Amino acid sequence: MRVPLSKLWPSSSTTVLKSDLSASKRFAPFLSLLGLLVVFTAITLFFSRQILSDATSASRATDGIMLVMVLVLPVTLAGAVGFQAFQLFSDHRKGRTGTSLKIRISLFFLLTTLLASVPQAALSISFIDAAIKTWSNQGWGDALQGGILSALDSHYERVQSLKKTVESPRLPEILQKAIGKKDPHALGPILEEMNLQAEGVQVFDEQDQLILQEGDPAAFLTEVKLPGTDGAIPPEVRGTSSIVRQIRHLDVGRRHLAVVVSVVLPPGFADKSQRLADALENYNQLKRSSDSYRSLFLAFYFLLYLPIVLIALLISFTQSEDLIRPLINLESATRRIAAGDYSTKLLGPEQSELAFLAESFNAMTAELASSRAKLLQTEKITAWQEIARRLAHELRNPLTPIRLSAERILKRNRSDPEHLSEIVEPAASAILTEVVRLDTLLKEFAGFARLPAPQKTVVRLRSLVDELLQTYQAAHPGLQISAEGLSSTVKVVADPAQLEQVFANLFKNAVEAMQGSGHLTVVSNLVKKGSASYCRVQIHDTGPGVPAALRDRIFQPYVTTKADGTGLGLAIVERILFDHQGRVWFESQPGYGTTFFLDLPEDPS
């Protein structure tokens, strides 16, 4: 649309759009998510070690608590990602700027994470499976079982040798010889002679007094409290060694004696045997639960891997928002400039990677504002030159009959003064008529040049239009007027006096085009342009239409189809609509009529 002549210079106020965040604010979400991942990894590793350390335990009372604690973060992250994804796709459906780029960035982050993690996941799962198979290898169980059996065999042989010695039928004879020799060390050689083995042999009388002893002092019974029956004595542990003993009561001559035979097991034999038994039990437990542990390891790996993917997505959401925010601001600023706000500026941190974009944009807008101001100034000068030329032409038209009338009066007064009265009255009447026309022309021009800035308020359109139409209906009974298509609820933001001037000019032109009879129709509907809503009013008449030769110039000053018209009415209409951030245009067809369209900003309330 052609810029009206009354368009003023741009406002000195500046619209500022922040194009970026500070570095600390930009990286704060990223660092928070990384810290969260480190904490979660530490917790997961702790719990996995805890479970592995209790792998052979039959109790699993704490496993449920551990699992719940490990699941808290993935579930929370999944909820956050779901919310962000829903919001992103919702914005995409609404067509918001930058959402397609944000989706592509998020998918790129996800794909990168998967490409980096999937091979590692496959390798880790393969390693875990191989490790579990190695742990449950039958050879390990056989080795442990063999070790235990070997220990048991050694123990059994020693116990059997001990029992053989203490239960030997020749033991009374041996004791008789040893006592007869009255040598406390005679017992050893006699036992060897009879092929009997023991690491310690002690002989006690009826009062549990030691009579004879032979062998390793470490095997001797020190605390004498002998049982009254034959058989095994409870084992005694000394340091890392265990001592196994057997006792036998027998009569030698007239004396009742007690023989205690001892064998010292190897150091740590009992502890090592117990550890072998525990290891075998652990192996059997692992073998029975190998499938469960494989699933448990995979679950822990998945719980460790899933948050990494989710955190990558959250990072992509936050970082993509940071990346596209300058582009969104740039798009918004471009829209403002397209709407005529050349004072728009983009501001961002000097260290921002996109700071050059804001600088280039601001330089461009400054150049545009300067060029636009120069253009407007040139256009204003050219327009006023055109107006002066047209005004001179319009003023010359009434001056011609005034000059002719005055010359006729002078000529008659000089040639025939007696009949001067015959032409004075017609000439004077013509002069007065043209003077009135000049006065009207000057008043219209003054009104066009001094049109004040609109004082906008909320206006009910139907009430204003109905009041004007009643005036024309009363003055032209043959005119058929219809305003039912104009909603009574429509409200616009406008200057009531100037809006009334707009409709008065258009109704006047329509009635004059139809010569007082015909159909005048007024309808309205709501339209949306970007984020702004407008009320579109259509005024249709059934007149002859606008001549094709004038359609491109109809809104220019002093262009008219009427003999007595000033040609300023539609120029004033366009000027008022422009000052209201609206628009006016028309469609005309010979034999059908003309329709003028007006877009007025709707009241947002």
pLDDT tens-digit profile of 10-19? 333 444 555 4
The stretch 253-277 carries a mean pLDDT of 74
What is the C-alpha to C-alpha distance for residues 160 and 261, in angstroms, rounded to an integer? 12
State which CATH number among 3.40.50.720, 3.30.70.100, 3.20.20.60, 3.30.565.10 fits the domain covering 455-601: 3.30.565.10
* Of residues 510, 506, 512, the one with CA closest to residue 600: 506
Contact 270, 242 (CB under 8 A): yes
What is the C-alpha to C-alpha distance for residues 21 and 318, in angstroms, rounded to an integer? 12
CA-based radius of gyration for the chain: 57
pLDDT at 598 over 90: yes
The predicted-structure confidence for 103-155, as pLDDT tens digits, reads as follows 888 888 788 877 877 787 778 777 777 776 666 665 665 665 566 556 655 66
* Of residues 226, 249, 70, 224, the one with CA closest to residue 171: 249
One-letter amino acid of 123: L
DSSP 196: -
The predicted-structure confidence for 433-462, as pLDDT tens digits, reads as follows 878 777 776 776 666 666 677 889 999 999
- H/E run at residue 289: none
Banded model confidence at residue 334, pLDDT cuts 50, 70, 90: confident
The predicted-structure confidence for 531-557, as pLDDT tens digits, reads as follows 678 899 999 999 998 888 888 888 887
pLDDT at 215 over 70: yes
* Of residues 502, 517, 516, 511, the one with CA closest to residue 464: 502
> How far is the CA of 537 from the CAs of 67, 95, 249, 460, in angstroms?
67, 29, 131, 13
> How far is the CA of 472 from the CAs of 27, 94, 459, 469, 560, in angstroms?
69, 46, 21, 5, 21
Top-level class of domain 156-269: alpha beta
pLDDT recorded at residue 8? 33
- Which residue do the tokens 């058989």 mark? 231
What is the C-alpha to C-alpha distance for residues 314 and 320, in angstroms, rounded to an integer? 10
Banded model confidence at residue 235, pLDDT cuts 50, 70, 90: confident
- For 478, half-sphere exposure in the C-beta direction (CA atoms, 13 angstrom radius) is 7
The predicted-structure confidence for 508-526, as pLDDT tens digits, reads as follows 999 988 988 899 999 998 8
pLDDT recorded at residue 434? 77
pLDDT at 323 over 70: yes
Residue 382 in tokens: 């050219």
User: In the chain, which segments carry CATH 3.30.450?
Assistant: 156-269
One-letter amino acid of 85: A
Beta strand pairing call for 518-529 and 479-485 = parallel
At residue 587, φ and ψ (nearest 5 deg) are: -130, 135
What is the C-alpha to C-alpha distance for residues 256 and 527, in angstroms, rounded to an integer? 127
Q: What is the mean pLDDT of the chain?
A: 75
Cα 180 → chain centroid: 104
pLDDT recorded at residue 48? 63
- For 117, half-sphere exposure in the C-beta direction (CA atoms, 13 angstrom radius) is 16
User: In the chain, which segments carry CATH 3.30.565.10?
Assistant: 455-601
Beta strand pairing call for 200-204 and 210-215 = antiparallel
Enumerate the β-bridge partners of residue 412.
none
One-letter amino acid of 131: A
What is the C-alpha to C-alpha distance for residues 469 and 506, in angstroms, rounded to an integer? 11
Banded model confidence at residue 4, pLDDT cuts 50, 70, 90: very low
* Of residues 196, 126, 186, the one with CA closest to residue 166: 196
At residue 405, φ and ψ (nearest 5 deg) are: -65, -40
At residue 216, φ and ψ (nearest 5 deg) are: -80, 120
pLDDT recorded at residue 487? 84
At residue 3, φ and ψ (nearest 5 deg) are: -70, 125
CB atoms within 10 A of CB 327: 15
Q: Topology of domain 355-447, per CATH?
A: Helix Hairpins (1.10.287)
* Of residues 580, 575, 579, the one with CA closest to residue 600: 580
What is the C-alpha to C-alpha distance for residues 95 and 98, in angstroms, rounded to an integer? 9
pLDDT recorded at residue 428? 83
Angle, helices 63-93 vs 23-53, to 10°: value is 150
Beta strand pairing call for 491-494 and 231-238 = unpaired
pTM: 0.41
Residue 129, classified by CB atoms within 10 Å of its CB into exposed (0-12), middle (13-18) or buried (19+), is middle
